[in-house]
């Protein structure tokens, strides 16, 4: 069962690095971004559609699903060719399929979906058939355990988890795509600026006075309905037994009713949007570099696949 597992680890590590982009301010520009006045927000956005992801400003600097698939296929092809030259067969598997959006925010908002509240309460709904990771990301039943020589050829003495930024690290055939990019003059990755800024914006949103007021209003609304929780996460993470009960569903429905009534989700995403815009303004040059390098890497990947 370890063939796919080893491949999956290498794939996940390398693909994460390939898509991260690069920029000189990889960690988000320093501690000044973690403080400062709260940004103005204007009108609160409409409550988001039931459980649907909300487009945020930093998304415009990220690699899209189609481009990610291009890089994944190019990586698989380069890795397979490299492994063949060392006498090993390598199956990169199918392009991983992203799971559907989760109806939960584990950090601060808890349940996000009224439909999920009615159907499964605070239990996670079952994934639709065919969703989630491909076989590449999990152990394939019946796969034959590979030798240490195979794993070393693939990951470079098992050091794939060391990261993708250090060109001196031997990452075996898992690093072949990066070596080809470098040979083509395409820059390598250096940190995850976008992810760092997303995290900072999320953290600032959680402590913003407008969001705190909305959570307090949610708490009051819930108390008025007979439910006493200090935060939405306290409600969603309570020790709800299996199987889901009518009481759990009723609590979850009240939770979503109160979120809608006090515009908690709309407030959260409006404030988060404002912080992301604030951080974009402070890191515009580095973010443009991330975007340009990502575009170069996608273009290089297309060429490796014979698509351009």
- Among the ranges given (171-180, 261-270, 276-285), the one the predictor scored with the smallest mean pLDDT: 171-180
Give 51 or 199, the one with higher predicted confidence.
Answer: 199
Give 124 or 6, the one with higher predicted confidence.
Answer: 124
How many domains in the chain?
Answer: 1
pLDDT for position 98: 77
What does the alpha-carbon distance between residue 205 and residue 274 come to, in Å, rounded to a whole number? 9
The percentage of residues in the chain with a pLDDT greater than 90, rounded to a whole number, is: 60
Which residues span the domain enclosing 159? Answer: 2-304
pLDDT tens by residue, 294-306: 999 999 999 999 9
Mean pLDDT of the 72-90 span = 93
pLDDT tens by residue, 213-235: 999 999 999 999 999 999 999 99
- Cis, peptide link before residue 243, omega less than 30° from 0: yes
271 to each of 27, 65, 156, 199, 233, how far by Cα in Å?
22, 26, 44, 14, 19
Mean pLDDT of the 189-201 span = 90
Written as six digits, the tokens of 68 are 């990610």
SS3 per residue for the chain: CHHHHHHHHHHHHHHHHHHHCECCCCCCCCHHHHCCCCCCCCCCCCCCCCCCCCCCHHHHHCCCHHHHHHHHHHHHHHHHHHHHHCCCCCCCCCCCCCCCCCCEECCCCEECCHHHHHHHCCCCCCCCCCCCCCHHHCCCCCCCCCCHHHHHHHHCCCCHHHCCCCCCCCCHHHHHHHHHHHHCCCCCCECCHHHHHHHHHHHHHHCCHHHHHHHHHHHHHHHHCCCCCCCHHHHHCCCCCCCCCHHHHHHHHHHHHHHHHHCHHHHHHHHHHHHHHHHHHHCHHHHHHHHHHHHHHHHHHHHHCCCC
* pTM of the full structure: 0.79
pLDDT for position 10: 37
Among the listed residues 215, 265, 230, 233, the one whose alpha carbon sits nearest the alpha carbon of residue 44: 265
Bridge partners, residue 104, by sequence: 111
Gap between the terminal Cα atoms of the chain = 37
Mean pLDDT of the 158-162 span = 45
pLDDT of 24 above 90: no
What does the alpha-carbon distance between residue 160 and residue 169 come to, in Å, rounded to a whole number? 9
């Amino acid at each position: 069962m370890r063939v796919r597992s080893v491949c999956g680890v290498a794939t996940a590590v390398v693909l994460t690095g390939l898509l991260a982009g690069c920029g000189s301010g990889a960690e988000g520009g320093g501690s000044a971004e973690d403080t400062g006045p709260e940004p103005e927000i204007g009108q609160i956005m409409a409550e988001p559609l039931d459980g649907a992801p909300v487009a945020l400003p930093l998304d415009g600097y990220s690699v899209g699903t189609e481009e990610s698939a291009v890089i994944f296929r190019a990586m698989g092809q380069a890795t397979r060719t490299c492994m063949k030259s060392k006498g090993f067969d390598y199956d990169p598997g199918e392009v991983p399929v992203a799971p559907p959006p989760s109806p939960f925010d584990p950090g601060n908002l808890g349940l996000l979906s009224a439909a999920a509240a009615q159907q499964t309460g605070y239990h996670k709904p079952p994934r639709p058939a065919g969703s989630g990771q491909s076989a590449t990301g999990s152990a394939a039943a019946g796969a034959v355990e590979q030798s240490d020589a195979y794993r070393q050829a693939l990951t470079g003495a098992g050091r794939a988890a060391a990261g993708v930024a250090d060109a001196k690290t031997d990452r075996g055939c898992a690093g072949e795509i990066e070596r080809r990019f470098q040979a083509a003059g395409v820059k390598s990755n250096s940190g995850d600026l976008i992810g760092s800024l997303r995290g900072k914006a999320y953290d600032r949103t959680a402590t913003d006075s407008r969001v705190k007021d909305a959570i307090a209003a949610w708490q009051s609304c819930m108390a008025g309905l007979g439910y006493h929780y200090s935060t939405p996460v306290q409600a969603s993470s309570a020790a709800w037994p299996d199987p889901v009960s009518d009481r759990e569903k009723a609590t979850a429905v009240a939770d979503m009713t109160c979120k809608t009534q006090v515009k908690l989700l709309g407030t959260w995403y409006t404030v988060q949007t404002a912080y992301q815009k604030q951080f974009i303004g402070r890191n515009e040059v580095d973010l443009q570099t991330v975007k340009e390098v990502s575009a170069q890497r996608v273009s290089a990947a297309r060429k490796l696949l014979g698509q351009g």
